[in-house]
Structures are given as structure tokens and as C-alpha cells.
Structure 1
Amino acid sequence: MNVAVLGAGLIGLDLVQKIQQSPHLACRLVAGRDSTALGLRRAAELGCPTSAGGAAALLDAGPFDVVFDASSADAHQQHWAELAATGALLVDLTPSSIGTPVVPTVNGAETAACRHLSLISCGGQAAIPLLHAIARHGTPHYTELVTTAASPTAGRATRLNLDEYIDTTQHAVRAFTGAATAKVLVNISPAVPPPPFRVSMTVLSCGLEPQGVRVAVQRAAKQVQAFTPGFAITSCTVTDDRATVAAEVTASGARLPGHAGNLHLINAAAVLLAEQRARAKAR
């Protein structure tokens, strides 16, 4: 399948590398807005056609089977308006929240017919598989998620979109768990050396069975590890009415440092969804 990437920042460049490693996908264009951007130059060095024409360049160079949008939440709304008529699958890696929310191991199969997918946020991709597993043992009345990302992994668009990140992730947590209240906090850490990407979750629910919850969390983690091997549960404590779980994500690959697990996870999820479409199309 022919794919294009909108945005040539940290996320966009890692996407290009993951696409090039896929036997099902071919990167035919990387589009940005600044012809002097380092990201576009590096994408060209990787052998990809590039353009500084933004989404309009995709209309000229297409058609594409899949478009990955790694730009910003504000820009994504305009991108969907411009690309909806092309028939491409648009995978949104921004926290714009206007597409169908998808977490591959939770509802990926249910979104097979959707053409506009929202990957929510990196924190959502890390936490929702675990929170969803806990919620199946008892609908929570309160869920709290704290995400910690290393400062070098948070680019300008990420910092400008923190409000959208929080709102979109809170909404998705409520939708996937049934929790009446969900609270999301974001910590961008300036620590040196940079810390790995971490998510810490607290779930309040009546009558949780400790062993059943622990088994469910480990099973959910193993499903994520199938496409993100650096995903690991670091703690899991369960009492009758409270579950606290922490997880870390370590990045792998030539272009991302280990502490960029947030970028690695959301990109791996995006490529997985595109590969699933490619295999379905081949069948």
C-alpha cells in the first residue's frame, strides 16, 4: 500500500523508518510546510520523496492508500477536510479527537471499516489496554492517569497541544473503561539523563479480585508487547477497591533513543493498523 506522512518532526521521521521496515507499506511522500526543515532533509536521505507543500502536496502526488498525520491537532482538522474525499485511510497521531478512537489491542478489529482513525495520544496507547482490562473486572467510578515523558521527546506541536492531549485522553479513558470520572496529568521531565516514558494509573472500583486483575493486566501487556517489545509492567497492586499499575515503554530502532518510548509506541500502533488494512486488502 502506498502511504504518505504529514509532518517531519520526531514522530514523522520515526514513522518513515518503521514504514520502510514493513513488507506491506511503501512511503511515497513525506510532506511538511518548511522547505528548510531538517526533518524533510533527513527524510530525503532515507530515500523518500519530500514536499514542503503540506496536505495540498498529497492531492497532487496521490492517490495514497494511507496517510499518517503527525502534524498538530489544529492542522489535522483541516487535513481531514482536504483529504476525506480521496478515499485514503487517515491515521491521526495528533490529539485532535475528531476521528474514531482506536487502541489496536482493544478495538482494532472493530474499526476495520473506518477511514478516519484517532490514536488518541501516546499516554492513551500505553494505558488504555491496561485500564480496559481492569474495567472488565468491575466498572470503575474513578480513573487517574499520570504520564511522564522526557523533555527531548516533546516537540513544539506536542507542547502546544497539551490541553488537547489531556482532553482527548480523558474522554478516551472514560469511553474505554466506563468510568464516571477520569483525570489525566502530564509531566514533561527535564531530568538528565532523560527518563523512560512512564504511565501510572489508579483505578477505584468496588469488589476487585486481586489475582484476576493482575492476570488480566499481564495478558493485556503481552498483547501490546507483540508490536512494542519495550512495553513492560513495573508494578501492579490490587486491593478490594483500588488498583494501581505502572508501566514503562523503552524505544527501539536506529533513530529513537531509548527514552522516546512514547513516540515509539504510538508509531508502532499506527503502522500496525495500516499493515492490518494492507493484509485485509490483499485477501
Structure 2
Amino acid sequence: MLNTAVLGTGLLALDLVERIQNSPHLHCGLVIGRTAQSNGMAQAAAMGCATAAGGIAALDDAGEDFDIVFDVTNAFAHPAHWAQLAGTVATLIDLTPTSGGTLIVPAVNGGQAAAHRHIGLITCGGQASIPILHAVAQHYRPRHVEMVATAASRSVGRASRLNLDEYIDATQSAIQHFTHATTTKTMLNISPASPPPPFRTAMTIVATGLEQDPVRDLVESVAATMQSFVPGYRLISCTVTDDTLRAVVEITATRGGMPTHAGNLEVISAAAIHAAEQHALARTSAVKEIAR
């Protein structure tokens, strides 16, 4: 079982803590916040986790080694976090919108996670859209790709609001990386609607040779795979007109501690746990091999 630490105490970080506690491969050794009196710190303590204030410096003060550190802070702080951890044994899984580390999307290249110590999970919009965009790009060469994400205002915390430019840049760069499209464009809408809407990504691909039935079969297959990671992932529409594919997916959060509109948090939380468990499974396999 791998010992983990969580940097952050927001809703996403607390969902990670709960997932870690429910994982047979992971142990939550420490939850770290900025201040000792925050509501998130109190909730983490109530969940039975050791807590510490003061940011990443608290890792050194903990007096123990951590196999996995989840960074759920912000894009501005992340480079310093990796600089501090690069010389340790810890793997850093980045849930902030940066372009550092090896980009991992479980439904695309999740099996590669165990080979890397600095893992970037892009953004929630990237995790929701890239599996479909990548799958289509394997069969049709895209000239242009667009993705528009819409998240409920209540599910977008302070750190995410500070990182809106970074969110756009990281998502757009990752989409280009996984699709090799000639041009890409990413947008993010934060909706104040009441009741809050579910998280939604609308995708457009322009490519030669698109056909409705083969493309829809392909997209539906990817959506089914995504549902194994995120049960609330649902394909809303998929249409091909001439050389243009338009697909829309919605993600409704299904976990008890998440409001239903927070599918954006659930999709990236699931990706983080998958990456961590790949490391744990690789460690177990290596130990068994040595035992032989």
C-alpha cells in the first residue's frame, strides 16, 4: 500500500482523500492546507486523516516518506512543488492546470502512468474531451479541433478562477498533443445558472472523410470506456455534417460527497486515483517478481 499526501483542502482534495481511503492500494498519510483553521482541514481530520498547515514545507516536517503526492493547489505554486519533490522518491500527480510533467488521460494512455514520477492531468475539460478527440484523430486527420467546457459557478473554486488563463492554455496544448490537429481552440464558460448545470464539454472536429455511423460507433465506445472511470459520463449528442463532427458530453457527479453539478471535479479526481493506483500495482508486481 502506497503512502500518499494531499496538498489542498478544497472539495476536490477532500474527494481525493475519500477515494484514497476506499482504495485497497493507497493510504492517506497526510492532508496539507495553508491554515490550520480552515473548514477543509477540519473535514479531513474528521475523516481520520493526519493534517498539517503551512503548505508543502509540512512534508519535510512530517518525518515520513510519501510515495505519492497529489497537488490540488494552483498552477502558480506547482512548479515550486515539483522542484522540492524532484529529488525525493515521491511521485507528484498534478491536478492544477499546468503543462508540466507527463500528460496522462486514463482512457488514452493510463497504462503509462507507472513509468513517470511527474504526472500532469491537464484539466477537467481535458480529461472529459481528450478521450473522444484522440480516438477520432486516430482514424481521421483533424484540420481543426475546438472544445468548449461549461462548468457551474459553484464548482469552480478560488484557485481555479485564478488559473483561468492557465486552464485554457493547458487544455488547448494537450488537445493539440493528443490529436495533432493543425489548429485547436479551447473555451471555458462558468455558468451562474440556478440550479447549477452539470459539467458539459462540446467538441468540434473538422476532418476529411467523416461518416456518421462509423464516427458515432467510435464515440459511443469511448463514452462507455469513460463510464468505467466516471459513471456519470454521458454522451448527449454526436452528429456529422459534411466534414464536421460535433459531439457533446455531460458529466454528473455520482459520489456521495459531491454535488451533482460537480462532474468537472469528479472526472479529474478519478484520473488522479487511477494514476496513483497504477503506481501501486506496478510496485506490487515488481515485488512479486523479485520474490520469484
Shorter-chain TM-score bucket reads over 0.9
Shift of 1:242: 0.6
In 2, Cα distance between the equivalents of 1:119 and 1:165? Answer: 11
Contact 1:137/1:208, CA 8 A, preserved across alignment = no
2:141 alignment counterpart:
139
Report what 2:267 is aligned to.
265
Give the match for residue 199 of structure 1.
201
SS in 2 for 1:112: helix
Q: CA deviation at 1:260?
A: 0.3
Gap regions ≥5 residues in structure 1 = none
| SS in structure 1 at match of 2:115 | coil
Report matched runs for 1:105-116 at 5 Å: 105-116=107-118
Q: 1:168 maps to which residue?
A: 170
What CA distance in whole angstroms lies between the structure 1 residues aligned with 2:23 and 2:113? 21
1:274 aligns with 2:279: no
Shift of the alpha carbon at 1:18? 1.0
Cα contact 1:143–1:183 (8 A) shared by 2:
yes
C-alpha displacement at 1:85, in angstroms?
1.1
Query: How far, CA to CA, are the matches of 2:204 and 2:194 in structure 1?
Result: 27
Matched AA of 2:9: A
Q: Does structure 1 residue 103 correspond to structure 2 residue 105?
A: yes
Kindly state the Cα deviation for residue 192 of structure 1 after the two structures are TM-superposed: 0.3
Tell me if 1:78 matches 2:80: yes
Equivalence map 1:99-248=2 (5 Å)? 99-248=101-250
Question: What corresponds to 2:27 in structure 1?
Answer: 26
Q: Which residue number corresponds to residue 48 of structure 1? A: 49
Distance 1:59 1:129 in 2: 37
Give the letter for the 1:9 counterpart: G
Number of matched pairs: 283
Aligned position for 1:10: 11
AA matched with 2:136: I
Distance 2:16 2:223 in 1: 23
The answer to whether the Cα contact below 8 Å between 2:239 and 2:247 also exists between their aligned partners in 1 is yes
TM-score (ref. length: structure 2): 0.95
Aligned-residue offset at 1:252: 1.6
Match of 1:251 in 2: 253
- Secondary structure at the counterpart of residue 77 of structure 2: helix
Answer with 33-42 or 168-177: which moved more.
33-42
Q: CA deviation at 1:239?
A: 2.9
Match of 1:90 in 2: 92
Q: Deviations over 1:232-271 (max 9, x none)?
A: 1000001331100000001122211110000011001100
- TM-score in terms of structure 1 length: 0.98
How far did residue 29 of structure 1 move? 0.3
- 1:152-191 CA-to-partner distances (Å, cap 9, x unmatched) read 1101100000000000000000010111111111000000
Note the C-alpha offset of 1:111: 3.7
Aligned to 2:290: none
> Which residue in 2 is equivalent to 1:60?
61
Q: 2:110, 2:274 within 8 Å by CA — same for their partners in 1?
A: no
- Show the counterpart of 2:39: 38
Alpha-carbon separation, structure 2, partners of 1:151 and 1:89: 31
Tell which deviates more after alignment, 103-112 or 176-185: 103-112
CA distance in 2, matches of 1:59, 1:218: 46
Identity of aligned residues (%): 56
Letter in 2 for 1:4: A
How much does 1:105 deviate?
1.1
SS at match of 1:133: helix
